[in-house]
Amino acid sequence: MHPNPQQQQIQVELGDTEAEGIYSNMCMVMHSPTEIVMDFARVMPRAPKARVLSRIIMTPMHAKLMMQTLQDNLKKFEKQFGEIKIHRGPEKMSNPIGFQSNDTTESGEKK
């Protein structure tokens, strides 16, 4: 019989600046064989460019765990507040704004 491994508790500190958060309405996702890179940016209407506010780099395993956690939280959110509707009209925007994945790897090669 194996002894019960003790679960380690980690104290997480949240500074005042970080607690304010950063609003992002655009995320570009790239990957290499060993990393997933997410650049979070904010695009303003009629602005010619977006500024990356935060870059998160993680392993593919951690990215998949994060995706599962986010899916679980979205299900709980919708159960409490109703379905989240994604509006996609028939018209295609020439410069779409929002969360989209990049079709290239981190090195710039096509997937």
Cβ proximity of 1 and 13 under 8 Å = no
Q: What is the pLDDT of residues 30-78, one digit of tens each?
A: 999 999 999 999 999 888 899 999 999 999 999 999 999 999 999 999 9
Chain centroid to CA 21:
14
What is the residue type of 65? L
What is the residue type of 107? S
Q: Where are the domains of the chain?
A: 22-81
Dihedral angle computed from the Cα positions of residues 60, 95, 49 and 45, in that order, rounded to the nearest 10 degrees: -110
Cβ proximity of 17 and 92 under 8 Å = no
Question: How would residue 103 be classed by pLDDT, with cut points 50, 70 and 90?
Answer: low
The model's pTM is 0.69
